[in-house]
Structure formats: C-alpha cells, structure tokens
Amino acid sequence: MIDPDKLLAWMFEDVVQEYDENFSMLYALSIGLGGDPTDASQLTYVQEKGAVPLKAFPTMAVVLGFPGSWMADPRTGIDFSRIVHGEESVEWNRPLPAAGKVIARHKVISVEDKGADKGAVIAYDKYLFDAGSKELIATVRHTTFARGDGGFSGSSLAASRRAATPVEAPIPQRSWKTTTLPQQALLYRLCADRNPLHSDPATARDAGFEAPILHGLCTYGVAAHGIVAQWCGYDSDRLKRLQARFSSPVTPGDRLTVRSSMDGATIRFDVWNETRGRIALSNGTAVVAD
C-alpha cells in the first residue's frame, strides 16, 4: 500500500546524461520532423551541416535524464503493473543545446488518493540543468495514474498540486495533419523508453492491443511539432510551455490532426486520431513567446 509521506520524501540520485548531435537528430526524426525532406525549416532539426546550425527540438527534454522505472521498486507500494501515464507538462527556461551534458534532478510533488476503487494520482518533477553552466533548462512534470492504489489512509498532499481543471476542447482556428510512420515507435524507443509494449507484438497482444502502440510521449512530441509548425514558423525557441493529457493510445501508422486555437500567448489544442475516430491528447495548453 502507498505511504504518501514516504513517496513525497523519495530520494532520487542525480541523473547525468551526455548527448550528441546524432541523438538530437534521432529524436527529431522520431517525432516526425524531416517528414518533408525538402522543407528547410524541418531540416534545421535533422541536418547538422545545413545553412542554419542544428537545433534540438524542445520536447527532447522529456527523454533526457530518465530516472528509470523507480515506481517498480516494491518499497513505493505502487502496483507497477497497473500504472498509466496521465499527463505531461514542460516549462522551458532556455533552449536545449543540440549537443551537451545535462543533470536531471527529480522530486515527487504530490500524491492524491482518488478512492478505494479509483486509484491514486502521483506527480513528480524533473529539473533539467546544463551540467556546465548549472542553469535550469526546463522543468518537466510527469503525472501517473496508479489504478490499483487508491484507498490508502492518512493521505498527504504537497503544497503544489497538479491542475485538475478540465480545459475546454478548442474550436479550431488551425488544423495540422500528419500520418505517423509504421516504424515510429521503433525509432522513438531508441531515445528513451524501451518497454516492449511499443515494439513486441506478443507483449502488446497480452496487454490487450492489436499491435504495439506508440509511446504517449511520442504523440506529445508530435503535438509540439504541430504547434511549432502552425504558430511559430518552426522557430521552436518560442515554445515556452506545453501541457497535455493522454486520452487514448495511438497505433503507429495512425493519421493524426493537431487542432488548435490561440488567445493571446496561449494556445488550446487537442490531437484527434483520424484513423481511430477518437481523441489521443486532450486538455492541451501551450504558451508561446512573440
């Protein structure tokens, strides 16, 4: 059973990761950049010797400094077999370099008991620093729904809690369409999560899926690609914040539409899965700079 105070005090080792331009290009390719290999704006993220210096796509922050499957540790009291990724948000303080060394520090922010038959919600932050300058690059909040762990007593909540207010679906001002690659999950797993659910057909079938599914964070990166393409002219340095809720899985090869509208500096968006006829990402909010 979950002990919320124990989780809130969970100690993480710093994760140090060094990466090169090849890694940045692989990440960009894995979320669909370079889909038009003649588009100079996209080539900025996938070509190291172009007219414009290579840039790292900002959502690469979600895969850098991965702390491992710490929730699988029996001491957490979490039923690891029943967790699902609920939401993800990133706030950027500065652009990621195309190659560099980062330090990731993690902290559990909140543990919320939804009820005995409703599970628990656990949010933890990753603070991503440049290893050289010690400057904060980004803060990443990862929210997990622990479906088998509700009903614990004496729940303690950290002062900072995740936003639970639903965001209204946008009335789209713009729509951006893309078709995921059949091999997209195989590309994305090289950047971080190698869970066989995303690569092994037998594992996927055992989990109730017809085929391996795309990583939710890959769909999140695709959404960011769509926002940057529609609203930022492919200048990803303008993206300052991105948040979304994972609503349904995507199968590699599915056709997706990022539907969005802007009010001031805030963009509301969702991701519609054209192939499945359902929402893949909901409650999407992005903030962009002028």
Q: Which residues are catalytic?
A: 193, 198, 213, 216
Classify residue 173 as exposed, middle or buried by CB count within 10 Å of its CB (0-12, 13-18, 19+): middle
In angstroms, rounded to a whole number, what is the distance separating the alpha carbons of residues 142 and 202? 28
Structure tokens at 178: 């893309």
Separation in Å, CA 119 to CA 7, 84, 145, 157, 158: 15, 11, 7, 15, 18
In angstroms, rounded to a whole number, what is the distance separating the alpha carbons of residues 274 and 256? 6
* CA 218 and chain centroid, separation: 7
Sheet holding 174-179, edge to edge: 15-19, 100-115, 119-130, 136-146, 83-92, 239-246, 278-288, 266-273, 255-263, 174-179
Print the SS3 string covering 225-244.
HHHHHHHCCCCHHHEEEEEE
In angstroms, rounded to a whole number, what is the distance separating the alpha carbons of residues 146 and 144? 6
- Strands 255-263 and 278-288, bridge-based pairing: unpaired
Q: How far apart are the first and last CA of the chain?
A: 48
- Interhelix angle 216-231/21-30, rounded to 10 degrees, is 90
Structure tokens at 135: 């400057």
